[in-house]
Amino acid sequence: MAINNSNYLLISLTFFLIAFSSNHANGEVLKVGFYHKTCPHVELISKEIVDDVISRVPSLAAPLLRMHYHDCFVRGCDGSVLLDSPTKQAEKDSIPNLSLRGYQIIDKVKTALEKSCPGIVSCADIVALVARDVTVAVKGPSWEVETGRRDGSVSNITEALFNLIPPFANITSLKQGFLQRGLSVKDLVVLSGSHTIGISHCSSFNNRLYNFTGKGDTDPSLDPNYIKNLKKKCPPNDQNTLVEMDPGSVRTFDNSYYKLVAKRRGLFTSDSALLDDSETKDYLKKQGINQYGSTFFKDFGESMVKMGRVQVLTGNQGEIRKVCSRIN
């Protein structure tokens, strides 16, 4: 067939469209209101379910906020933390994730969304929306959640173990863990402020109370009076007891975390470590002063949006899972 002008035009146009669409798909970015046309009530549905759940079980707010972080730091925010493995080899089976809870709330939102707009909203986006909604439900800040993430298909126990920063991390590894993911030192100190809500197992900090350097000693960076209190709750080698991370306001998202850390009462080594860097130390001293002069709420929303962009799948990458705990 001879290629005439109109054929040539058609071929060029097709080529352009293919090139543009694949380019567009790979370079696609998240945006606020991604489901505006395809699932207009997505945010309302998520919020209604979250408000109802948190009004009945407020303690679920903390693990659901934490879930977004644990999703994003392992293979990016791709919903991989939600996947089940029949042989217990998925991210959720790894030690740092054994204390995550609230998967059933993500499933509840997913089921409601599959009814109103089947096959449209990714599980990774649900995790991001729910993280914002639970924060608001415990009187924390609100922010506009970018959406358009796609769900991944791989979830690996070892990757979770190596990528989630341990509670005994020092400031160097904390900074490194954040910088590697395109997050700043400011994001580190801001997002650590999440520890204003929730609980921890004694096992996450027991070494600071009984055997800090292997000689039966305590961590000198922790307030000795606080150590006394903590020892009453956590006997040596206790694996199961739970303690409030921000005693007194464990169910309210506020700036009290920064006051505690400044008073050398941060529960984990990773909390205390924020006093070992001039930028993080400056930030926490400023935020602790008073709730209303503090920029923490505004900063928190901005850092959550940044965290929500880590290594996301977009466009035609990944899939939209029908059920969040398994690939299609």
Residues tagged active-site: 70
- The answer to whether the CB of 63 falls within 8 A of the CB of 92 is no
Residue 207: Cβ within 10 Å count:
16
> Which residue's Cβ has the minimum distance to ligand HEM?
198
Interface with ligand HEM by CB under 6 A: which residues? 62-63, 65-66, 69, 99, 165, 167, 169, 174, 191-192, 194-195, 197-201, 204, 268, 270
Give the nearer residue to ligand HEM in terms of CB position, either 194 or 325: 194
- Report whether 279 belongs to an annotated binding site: no
Give the nearer residue to ligand HEM in terms of CB position, either 151 or 187: 187
CA distance 251 to 231: 23
104-129 in b/e form (b: 16+ CB < 10 A) is ebbbbbbebbbeebeeebbbbbbbbb
Give the nearer residue to ligand HEM in terms of CB position, either 63 or 152: 63
Q: At what angle do helices 185-192 and 296-307 cross, to 10 degrees?
A: 110
- Nearest distance from residue 24's CB to ligand HEM, in Å? 30
- Report whether 152 belongs to an annotated binding site: no
- Nearest distance from residue 249's CB to ligand HEM, in Å? 13
- Report whether 246 belongs to an annotated binding site: yes
- Report whether 187 belongs to an annotated binding site: no
- Report whether 74 belongs to an annotated binding site: yes
- Nearest distance from residue 299's CB to ligand HEM, in Å? 12
What SS3 string covers 244-278? ECCCCCCCCCCCHHHHHHHCCCCCCHHHHHHHCCH
Give the nearer residue to ligand HEM in terms of CB position, either 195 or 265: 195
Cβ-Cβ contacts under 8 Å for 244 (sequence gap 6 or more): 198, 199, 250
CA distance 317 to 250: 39
Known binding-site residues equal 71, 74, 76, 78, 80, 91, 195-196, 246, 254
Known binding-site residues for Ca(2+) equal 71, 74, 76, 78, 80, 91, 196, 246, 254
Known binding-site residues for heme b equal 195
